[in-house]
């Protein structure tokens, strides 16, 4: 159905660049003619009322992500009714546009827009959240650090107004198309999750000796390791505590964080946010002077980096000499373990570090506790074989994941173009909308939304556009 969309028979100039030409029978009016700008402020704090802040609205989808529990506020808020459209005027490029289904209050950083008889609330919401409308409003913002849209500009923007039945057809088609696209997204999300699980299982099998990577079969003989996470290990492998095969160093923060402690050409200073698992780490934004770096300890290139405070078990590795803050323990392996083998080991140790952490107010696993974790130590020639095998296999999996992440961007772009083309009349969806099947019932729709939230926004696939269309056949 999507592939069969055609333009309208005749067009006219809208007089507005973001709209371009519009169908000849459409009206084009200023937004303030089609909506009422509501500015009903209150200090009342009703715990039963719906309260919406900018952070509660998901960008580009309009889905609400409301926190649990009562919300308290001590500043003025705006009242809105069910069906009003809230348009985030602070940083409008974030496309925080939502149409709540019940009345409530919102922060003052929303325009509260109430549709008049010439426009349906749903259509109003869809048009204002389209990429062309958002880009147009964003071009008018003022303020460098906190850019805001001004109602005088927004209210004066020209707005497309098809007949009400046609508005209904447009939103029906776009709701249907969005639902189809999200089905494709969810299918690809499941594939991403399986790939990630397979990658982790492959690494675990190899570094714990469940499979001999040289033959693709188990080793000839096994022995009990005495360690739960390792299970039985190849009979000729050693089982040793981490502290016996590595030096573990806890990072630090230069005393006082004085300006002289930093040097833009100095030693990178790593924090937990920089750790990227098997991808190493993000390039740190701060660097220490040589003197400051030496005071907290310089970590050798190739060391395994493990977060020991907060996000315990989060790992990365050092692609160059660096320093870390006190949340990170750096594990520098002895000659008994190749660095790259140690990196793969680190990807399997997160739960072991978590088990040993102190769970009071914040999880902490210090270097002594990390040192007590037991690991496998294969002969060096087998470590080399394992590393070569895992590098080759994980590269293939990573390539598939990378293609997946690129594909979701393409699908997002496709969805944005489709919405923009439909709401500005570049394609005629009236006939298609009249032939659409019924939407999924509310129970199915709710389940799908919950699944989508849990899995986040990743996508894979070849010919996603074709997949959407094929579901109609």
CATH number of the domain to which 88 belongs: 3.90.220.20
Say if 309 falls within a structural domain. Answer: yes
Say if 473 falls within a structural domain. Answer: no
pLDDT band at 74 (very low <50, low <70, confident <90, very high): low
Say if 247 falls within a structural domain. Answer: yes
pLDDT band at 261 (very low <50, low <70, confident <90, very high): confident
The count of domains in the chain is 2
Say if 363 falls within a structural domain. Answer: yes
Residue with tokens 């740190």: 284
- Among 133, 161, 189, the domain boundary falls at 161
Say if 18 falls within a structural domain. Answer: no
- Among 120, 143, 161, the domain boundary falls at 161
Give the global pTM: 0.77
Task: Select the more confidently predicted residue: 442 or 161.
Answer: 161
- Regarding whether 357 and 262 lie in a shared domain, the answer is yes
pLDDT band at 3 (very low <50, low <70, confident <90, very high): low
pLDDT band at 439 (very low <50, low <70, confident <90, very high): low
pLDDT band at 454 (very low <50, low <70, confident <90, very high): very low
- Regarding whether 153 and 248 lie in a shared domain, the answer is no
Say if 49 falls within a structural domain. Answer: yes
Provide mean pLDDT across the span 367-395: 96
Say if 308 falls within a structural domain. Answer: yes
- Regarding whether 369 and 246 lie in a shared domain, the answer is yes
- For residue 6, how many other CB atoms are within 10 A of its CB? 10
Say if 270 falls within a structural domain. Answer: yes
Enclosing domain of residue 157: 27-161
- Among 132, 161, 190, the domain boundary falls at 161
- Regarding whether 45 and 140 lie in a shared domain, the answer is yes
Q: What would the pLDDT profile of 296-353 be if each residue is shown by its tens digit?
A: 999 999 999 999 999 999 999 999 999 999 999 999 999 999 999 999 999 999 999 9
pLDDT at residue 451 above 70? no
Q: What would the pLDDT profile of 267-305 be if each residue is shown by its tens digit?
A: 999 999 999 988 888 999 899 999 999 999 999 999 999
């Amino acid at each position: 159905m999507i592939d069969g969309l055609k333009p309208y028979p005749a067009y006219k100039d809208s007089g507005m660049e973001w709209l371009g030409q519009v169908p000849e029978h459409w009206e084009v009016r200023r937004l303030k003619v089609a909506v009422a700008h509501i500015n009903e402020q209150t200090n009342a704090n009703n715990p039963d009322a719906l309260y919406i802040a900018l952070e509660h609205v998901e960008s580009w989808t309009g889905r609400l992500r409301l926190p649990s529990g009562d919300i308290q506020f001590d500043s003025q808020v705006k009242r809105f009714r069910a069906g009003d459209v809230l348009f985030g005027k602070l940083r409008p490029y974030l496309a925080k546009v939502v149409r709540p289904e019940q009345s409530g209050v919102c922060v003052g950083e929303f325009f509260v827009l109430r549709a008049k008889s010439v426009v349906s609330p749903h259509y109003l919401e869809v048009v204002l959240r389209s990429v062309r409308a958002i880009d147009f409003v964003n071009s008018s913002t003022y303020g460098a650090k906190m850019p805001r849209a001004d109602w005088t500009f927004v209210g004066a923007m020209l707005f497309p107004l098809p007949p009400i039945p046609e508005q209904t057809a447009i939103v029906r088609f776009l709701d249907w198309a969005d639902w189809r696209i999200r089905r494709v997204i969810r299918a690809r999300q499941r594939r991403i999750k399986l790939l990630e699980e397979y990658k982790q299982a492959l690494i675990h099998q190899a570094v714990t000796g469940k499979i001999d990577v040289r033959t693709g079969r188990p080793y000839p003989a096994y022995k009990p390791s005495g360690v739960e996470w390792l299970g039985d290990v190849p009979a000729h492998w050693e089982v040793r505590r981490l502290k016996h095969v590595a030096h573990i160093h806890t990072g630090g923060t230069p005393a006082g964080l004085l300006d002289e402690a930093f040097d833009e050409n100095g030693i990178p200073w790593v924090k937990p946010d920089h750790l990227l698992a098997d991808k190493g780490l993000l390039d740190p934004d701060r660097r220490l002077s040589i003197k400051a770096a030496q005071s907290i300890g310089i970590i050798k290139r190739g060391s395994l980096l493990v977060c020991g405070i907060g996000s315990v078990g989060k790992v990365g590795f050092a692609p160059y000499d660096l320093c870390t803050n006190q949340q990170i323990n750096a594990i520098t392996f002895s000659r008994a373990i190749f660095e790259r083998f140690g990196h793969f080991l680190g990807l399997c140790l997160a739960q072991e570090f978590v088990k040993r952490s102190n769970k009071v107010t914040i999880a902490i696993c210090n270097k002594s506790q990390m040192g007590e974790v037991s690991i496998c130590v294969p002969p060096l020639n087998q470590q080399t074989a394992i590393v070569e095998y895992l590098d080759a296999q994980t590269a293939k999996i990573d390539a598939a994941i990378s293609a997946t992440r690129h594909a979701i961007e393409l699908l997002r772009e496709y969805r944005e173009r489709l919405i923009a083309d439909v709401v500005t009349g570049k394609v005629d969806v009236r006939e298609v909308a009249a032939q659409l099947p019924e939407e999924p019932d509310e129970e199915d729709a709710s389940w799908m939304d919950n699944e989508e939230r849990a899995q986040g926004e990743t996508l894979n696939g070849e010919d996603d556009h074709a997949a959407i269309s094929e579901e109609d056949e």
